[in-house]
Chains A and B, each alone.
Chain A
Amino acid sequence: MIDVQRLRRSFGPVVAVDDLVFKVQKGDVLGFLGPNGAGKSTAMKMLACFLKPDSGTATICGHDIITDPIGVRQSIGYLAENAPSYNEMTVGGFLNFVCDARMIKGQARTKALDRVVPLCSIESVYHQTIETLSKGYRRRVGLAQALIHDPQVLILDEPTDGLDPNQKYEVRKLINGMAKDKCIIVSTHILEEVEQICTRTIIIARGKILVDSTPQALIEKHKCSLDEVFRKITSTKKTA
């Protein structure tokens, strides 16, 4: 469902994403790993059609990110890093705005809200303005926004960052629950999370893919924990 073809993007002299190639199928949960500044967010921003790649392209659900960005945006749910939203709006007002923009009307809107609000457990803050919410709640509102149109493809940039352990558990359970009939890309720094939710993992550093494998295969191959695997791969490559 996601087919990335030689995606490349640089900022001035810094190459953030270099010749990225991978495919993600339905039912896959792809864990996007890498040290800070590896290009994870840049790659995700390009897939969400926020940034234009310098070269290369990708298709998502048959829509090309360069020729049909609106089609791509319609078929994905995207949670940006730090879950930006409009601080002066209430949670309800904000979700209704997203419904407006996604053309979810009438009955369908009521249904979507009834589904997504309990799913992300934000009933209790529904009428609060977003600026009064804690970081965890904001992220859950961001997640609700990404799920509201029940997209086929989910792109989540650090969805559990800033959540407490219970909330992290909830979000992981949520992702596992949806995994079967969606195609999900998750970026994270938490490696235990990868073991729990991801069916596949890609490790990138300095914009290049270093490993494309499954968490289990990595652990078996290197005979150590994922933490150590990550350290081995990203640090040896740096000195090489």
Chain B
Amino acid sequence: MNGFLSVFKRELKGYFATPVAYVFLVIFLFFAGYLPFKDGFFEIRQAELRLFFQWLPWLFIFMVPAAAMRLWAEERKNGSIELLLTLPITINQAVLGKFSAAWAFLGLALLLTFPLPATIYYLGHPDTGLIVSGYIGSFLLAGGFLSVGSFFSAVTKNQVISFILSAAACGILVSAGMPTTVNYLSTMLPANVVGLVEMMSIQSHFDSILRGVIEMKDIAYFIILIVAWIGACTVVLEERKAA
């Protein structure tokens, strides 16, 4: 078993060894169910999960940084990073192992929302493609936010600071593509800059995956987002691990 797998396994177990996983899952699943019903999940009388998926970015802004904040901040705070990085594990393996474990955990949280699609299938005939692409998009979204979160977790030893910084960064990534933001920006910035901001935002890419069109440019966006933040995380850790 190589370094990546051992870190992955330990980290995933770590979520369940403490109440973190259970608290997270209960709260996440409650809101993931509550928010679409608040907006009339049944009343719209359509067999689709659009309302559920639309709320996920907002829910993830708070939930994903909560899952990510411990990744490195805790490790640096109690000094166990010195143990981890003096085992025959490279820093890349450690960063990827932790990231993947947290991503797998978020994937599990998404899978546990299965009662919603199950309800839809029971009540009507939804478009399976739309649901699958919605879940793929949501998983990518979780990965994107998680990479942001793991970066900020490496920046500080304090989990609260890491949470607030990453929630703010994720909030910016989502809201930059909102129509209200775009309209506001277009009053003072040239159109091509506004277009650039909109393109960099998570929202437009997530929306287009939700519509059931899985395009290369949207997948590439998420991959670049994840690789860039994870890379930055590795660089910061290398610099600060001993501080």
Contacts and interface: CB of A to CB of B under 8 A. Distances in A.
Contacts of A102: 87-88
Contact of A86 (B9, B14, B85, B90): B14
Contacts of B79: 80, 82, 84
Nearest to B17: A88
B241 interface: yes
Contacts of B10: 86, 89, 97, 100
A145 B83 contact: yes
A89 B13 CA distance: 9
Nearest to A45: B242
Interface residues of A, number: 26
Given A88-B18, A97-B6, A50 B1 contact: no
B39 interface: no
B3 interface: yes
Interface string A224-239: 0000000000000000
Contacts of A49: 85-86
Interface string B198-240: 0000000000000000000000000000000000000000000
Contact of B78 (A51, A70, A73, A84): A84
16 contacts: A51-B242, A73-B86, A73-B88, A74-B88, A80-B82, A84-B80, A84-B81, A84-B82, A85-B83, A86-B80, A88-B17, A88-B18, A89-B10, A98-B87, A101-B7, A145-B83
B78 A89 contact: no
Interface string B80-103: 111101111110000000000000
Contacts of B82: 45, 50, 80, 84
Interface in B151-204: none
A100 B88 CA distance: 10
Main secondary structure of the interface of A (DSSP, over half): loop
Interface in A84-131: 84-89, 93, 97-98, 100-103, 105
Interface string A216-227: 000000000000
Contact of A48 (B14, B81, B86): B86
Given A73-B86, A78-B86, A100 B13 contact: no
A102 B89 CA distance: 9
Contact-size category for B: 20 to 34
B83 A88 contact: no
B2 interface: yes
Interface string A57-81: 0000000000000100110001010
Contacts of A98: 87
Contacts of A97: 6, 9-10
A84 B83 contact: yes
A153 to B, nearest CB: 12
A73 B17 contact: no
Contact of A88 (B3, B14, B90): B14
A152 to B, nearest CB: 14
Contacts of A145: 83
A48 B88 CA distance: 10
Nearest to A72: B88
B5 interface: yes
